[in-house]
Amino acid sequence: MPVTIAKTFRFDAGHRCLGFQNAKESTLHGHTWRLRLVIETERDLDAFKTIFDSNELARIVKPLVERFDHAFVVWSDDPLADRLAALAQDGGFAQKLLRVDFNPTVEGLVEYFFKTVKGQLAPMRAVLKRAELDAATTLHASYWE
């Protein structure tokens, strides 16, 4: 019988989203993000009544979260991408400007996190069933396959 466990990670990051009618989304802004990963396994509970060591999940996800924490995420196709990169370089924080190949909406980011983490779980006999990302208390996206 499948059993699930979820773990939540928190980070602060800025972004700029394109393609919205509301100009507010295209401004440089940030959020305190909450990433929730739901893991499923077909294994029975062991003698300690566990299915998965959530510390192993943290070991996988922590470097990813640290890369995004206090970073600014920009789409490579953003007309401001090169100017933002030059500004980050001049300011000495180029390592915290993350260029991605997608529009960094909450939907795009949750898909990215899901696909990045999913492949790393296979050796642990666990499956990432769903990733959920909160950009605010009023904005939430989920991704699963």
Nearest in space to 73 (alpha carbons), one of 130, 111, 31: 31
Q: What is the pLDDT of residues 79-123, one digit of tens each?
A: 999 999 999 999 999 999 999 999 999 999 999 999 999 988 877
As a whole number of angstroms, the distance between CA 67 and CA 88 comes to: 15
DSSP 126: -
Q: Whole-model pTM?
A: 0.92
DSSP state of 95: G
User: Token digits for 66?
Assistant: 């640290």
Q: Which of the pair, 3 or 133, is modelled with greater confidence?
A: 133
Q: pLDDT tens digit string along 31-76?
A: 999 999 999 877 777 788 887 778 888 999 999 999 999 999 999 9
Token pair for 141: 């996206």
Residue pointed to by tokens 């915290």: 96
DSSP SS3 for 119:
helix
Q: Domains along the chain? A: 3-143 (3.30.479.10)
CA distance 87 to 122: 40
Secondary structure (3-state) at 12? strand
Terminal alpha carbon distance of the chain: 20
* Residue whose token pair is 């924490």: 69
